[in-house]
Amino acid sequence: MALVSLALAKAHLRITDDVQDADIQSKVDQASALVVRLLKDQADPTWDETTVPLPIQLAILKVVAWEFEHRADLVMPRSTLGVEQGLWVELDPLLIPYRDPTLR
């Protein structure tokens, strides 16, 4: 369930050619799954790329950009969810309003 279109992800990454489309789409799918997993039961299964709340979409784009920019950083320390710790500082304010209050 991709919650961000390939076109939006490419615009966010400032990519205009089609050479990396498969890689970018893969990162969009992975980032969408990660954010949905973080939201747990608060993620609406009916969301799609046109109905997902904008802060959720932005969180996905931030994960896509980080993964795209750091894809060669094999020695970068990562959390158990595969997202570099510094990224949490940016994701938390976007996702906290959508998470279950008991999980905060």
d(CA 88, CA 90): 5
pLDDT beyond 90 at 1: no
CATH assignment of 6-103?
Answer: 1.10.3230
**Nearest one of 39, 48, 49, 45 to 12, comparing CA atoms:** 49
| Through-space distance between the first and last CA atoms of the chain, rounded to whole angstroms | 25
- Chain centroid to Cα 28, Å, comes to 7
pLDDT digits (tens, 9 = 90+) for 33-91: 999 998 888 899 999 999 999 999 999 999 999 888 877 655 545 454 554 567 777 88
DSSP H helices, the chain, are 6-13, 21-39, 54-69, 85-95
**76 CB-near residues (< 8 Å, 6+ apart):** 70, 84
Contact indicator for 24, 6 with CB cutoff of 8 Å: yes
Mean pLDDT of 88-99: 80
